[in-house]
Amino acid sequence: MGIEGKVVVITGASSGIGRATARLLADRGAVVVLGARRESVLADVSGEIAAAGGTAVHKVTDVRRRDDLDELVELAVTRGGRLDVWVNSAGIGPISRFDALRVEDWDAMIDVNLRGTLYGIAAVLPVFQRQRSGHIINIVSTAGLKILPTMGVYAATKNAVRTVTEALRQEAGPHLRVTEVSPGFVATDFASSMTDAAMREAIAKRAADIAIPPEAIARGIAYAIEQPDDVDVGSIVIRPTAQD
């Protein structure tokens, strides 16, 4: 029970929800192992955690590459002696209308949001099976709960991960915990991945009006982790009170 001493891998750890989760869990005594594509920003996060008295290691990781995720697992086990929690937080959202035909953006969302999550599961599952313990946390989205125009492919990738999460939970047996966390509008750089300028501006304005800080999502993740081993928090939805 609790967070202190657990070894936690977080993908997408250089910004947003991943970064906030890394800092919170390190503050609560976890050993955090951070993966993301941007070396300099990732190093900054590790440095912040170390300066605050926490323990963090990091490795440049592209979730579209299976080898990168396998190496992140190896780093975690080498550094911590085991691996307790895997947080699939990497994600992008270059949303647009279907008739804009931004097929490259569709492919990118499938590759990062869905394929990247599956690769993370494939990398960590053998370790959890050997240990007979572990916890996989997948970050999905309220976009998959209320389908809106422009979010068709993004929501589809997130609902695919939601399906994967539930199937994995049912397959997992008594030793593996599986959680999905669905954030609503969160104050992150989510809009920066959008190639449609008008959509990027609209989402940024909406987020500025109602978004909650990423620390709110991090607290939900921490809640799921800190439960006793025989308690599986299956699904958490965290959205702004003002969000429809």
Active site residues: 154
C-alpha 185/C-alpha 238 separation (Å) is 9
Contact 134, 177 (CB under 8 A): yes
The dihedrals phi and psi of 59, each to the nearest 5 degrees, come to -150, 135
